[in-house]
Each structure stands twice: as C-alpha cells, then as structure tokens.
Chain A
Amino acid sequence: MTIAMQPIYTQTVGSGGASTLSFNNIPQTFTDLKVVVSARQANSGTALEVYVDYNLNSASIYGTTWLTGTGSGVASGRLASAGGVVQTFTTGSTATANTFGSFELYLPNYTSSNTKQSIIDAVTENNGTTVEMKLTATSFASSSPITVIRFSPAGGSFVQHSTFSLYGITKG
C-alpha cells in the first residue's frame, strides 16, 4: 500500500532559538513536498517576514506574486528575478503572548528539471486588529531538484517551541 503523505523530518526550536532552519538531504522519492510550520520570531512586531530559499541558492532566480490582508486592508504585488524572497510571515514578539503564526508551503514536482512552483498560505494572529494573512506563489527558476529548503526569519531568530514539519506526498 502506498502511503500518500509521509512524514519526513520535524524540527522543534530549542531554548537558544534558531537564526535559520533548514531541511537538508531531502529524499528524492516523493512526488510533492509539504511543510507545515507553527512559529514565532524574537524581534518586535506583530507579524514578521520569513525568507524561503531552495538548495541554499540566493541568486536572483525567484519570482513571487502575493495577496495579503492586514486585518484592515488588502494588497497584492509581485517581484521578478529576485533573490532572497520573502514568502511568508510569522508572529513577532509584540503579538499576543504564546501565539505562533501558522503557514503551509506546498511544493509540487520538486524533483523536476523545470522551474519549480510553490504556494504558501499563512496566518498570524493577535488579539487586536493588526495581523498578516498572506497567499504567495513563488517560482524558482532552477533545473536542479530541490534537496534543501531553508527558512530565514527577518526578525532575528525563531523562538523556542517553533515547529517545522516536512512531508512527502506520493501520487498513484
């Protein structure tokens, strides 16, 4: 019996925090990948940006389109041929205490030699009007299969108890 969604890796940030978090040596045996994250950052802010890159590649080969809501306004935008792309958000230290943002990254056909596409849906929460809710589609114009996914917080570090879970999804 084929297992459709298989847990691959999970990382939980310890007491020292984490300046980046990477999944390395990702098995190339699945069809798609999915990462679910519950995280908070150390720096001040109700919602802080998270950079996502693949294969430790920060070259200007990323493009992104997004739709965002802040609890009071909406916006949509895009970046082309960019490196170090902000793809999502988590809560920061001035969000409600003990509240961690939640996002899911879906990366289909990650072993393909074509440009890879990913989508992320992300929410932060706060006992107040201001939050960040974001839908992001990102292209990675590399012919290399994805073997590393790296998350880098704009707010200094991910705090203790932040969790990152990687799953492999198999078709057929």
Chain B
Amino acid sequence: MSMVWIATMSGGGGLKTFTNIPQTFTHLQIRMNNRDLYASTPSYTYMRFNGDTGDTANNHWLRGDGASATSEANQINLNYVITVPQPGNNALAGVRNATIIDILDYTNTTKNKVAKAISGYDLNGSGFVGLYSGQWRNTAAITSIGLGSAYQEDAATFRADLYGITSSQVTGA
C-alpha cells in the first residue's frame, strides 16, 4: 500500500496542528477543503512546520483569477511555508477551496523542506486557481504541520487530511 491516511484535522479557530507525524513514510500529502469565517475574500490558509515561528520560510505562486495570470514572490524570510487562498464568510454560500499539498522527502535531514500545492476555488463569477510553492529553510525532519487561517477557520467546513506515501526499494535502473 503506497498512500495511507494518517490523520484528519477539523474544527474552527486559528492554527491547528498535525502532531507526532510518523517518520515511516517517504512523502506526505495534505488534502484540504476549507472556508474562512472572516468576511473578506480571499482569505488565506497558512502552513508552518515543526512550530517554527522564525523567519525561516519563503514562498511563491503562479495563479490566475479569471482575468489575468500573475507570478509573485510572496515575501522573503517568512514564518509560514505556504499560503493558499480560500473563500471568506462573505463569499458564495457553501463554497470552499480545494487544495492538494505535496511534501517530498519530509524525513530527509540533508534537504530543506519544499512544499508544492495546487489550489483553487470558483465563486461563479470570481475565483482563483494556482500552483503554489514554499520552502522551510531547515533540514530537520518534519514532525508536525500547522494549518489554519490568520483569522478563524469555519468550524463547520474546515477539513485537512494527512496522508503518508511510501516508495519502492527497487531501482529499475
């Protein structure tokens, strides 16, 4: 079995954390489906590794909003690894974002940790779709992942599922 469910995070409030992540997989994947209680769209879901609040991250995106495409460096020296837009409480009722985040080689202690995400939502007249990336400039193995809004995730809708992915011992070289 190569992709195994590890845990599901739900509930409202701010940052929530997957803790004690098993170190037995090769890669991690997070699948989210979220909406914010904050009455502003877009709001954003942030991700942080191992509770690190230092300025040890940076991120970038390539995204479109239905009218134009942009690519930006969010900021350099951040304290969150990745940020993806989500609908706020003033958006079309019932709509959440859909996000898949991949973190490869999360236990590898020779690599900084890079996250790659595809994410989007459509509000039947506005929306975002994009490719997002971020890195945590730390080679430590990832043992916890924090997710949440700077404001307050909607407890009725927030869901993040964490999966572990294994790899083969055969090389095929």
- Asked if B105 is at the interface of the complex by the 8 Å CB criterion, the answer is yes
User: Do A8 and B170 have beta carbons less than 8 Å apart?
Assistant: yes
Across-interface contacts of A70 in B (CB, < 8 A): 71
CA distance A104 to B76 in the complex (A): 25
User: Do A128 and B69 have beta carbons less than 8 Å apart?
Assistant: no
What 1/0 flags go to B60-101 for Cβ under 8 Å of A? 111000000111110011000000000000000000000000
- Asked if B159 is at the interface of the complex by the 8 Å CB criterion, the answer is no
Contact-residue bracket for chain B: 35 or more
Which residues of chain A from 155 to 169 have a CB within 8 Å of any chain B CB?
Answer: 161, 163, 165-167
- Asked if A26 is at the interface of the complex by the 8 Å CB criterion, the answer is yes
User: Do B62 and A69 have beta carbons less than 8 Å apart?
Assistant: yes
- Asked if A94 is at the interface of the complex by the 8 Å CB criterion, the answer is no
Nearest first, the 7 A-B pairs at minimum CB distance are A69-B71, A69-B62, A9-B172, A123-B133, A7-B168, A125-B135, A38-B104
CA distance A123 to B81 in the complex (A): 14
User: Do A166 and B172 have beta carbons less than 8 Å apart?
Assistant: yes
User: Do A133 and B61 have beta carbons less than 8 Å apart?
Assistant: yes
Complex: chain B residue closest to A37, CB-CB: B104
CA distance A98 to B61 in the complex (A): 21
Listed in ascending order, the chain B residues whose CB lies under 8 Å from chain A are 1-3, 26-27, 58-62, 69-73, 76-77, 102, 104-105, 108, 110-112, 114-116, 118, 131-135, 137, 139, 165-173
Interface of A is mostly: strand
Contact-residue bracket for chain A: 35 or more
CA distance A58 to B57 in the complex (A): 39
User: Do A128 and B73 have beta carbons less than 8 Å apart?
Assistant: yes
What 1/0 flags go to A37-77 for Cβ under 8 Å of B? 11000000000000000000000000000011111111000
Across-interface contacts of B112 in A (CB, < 8 A): 96-100, 125
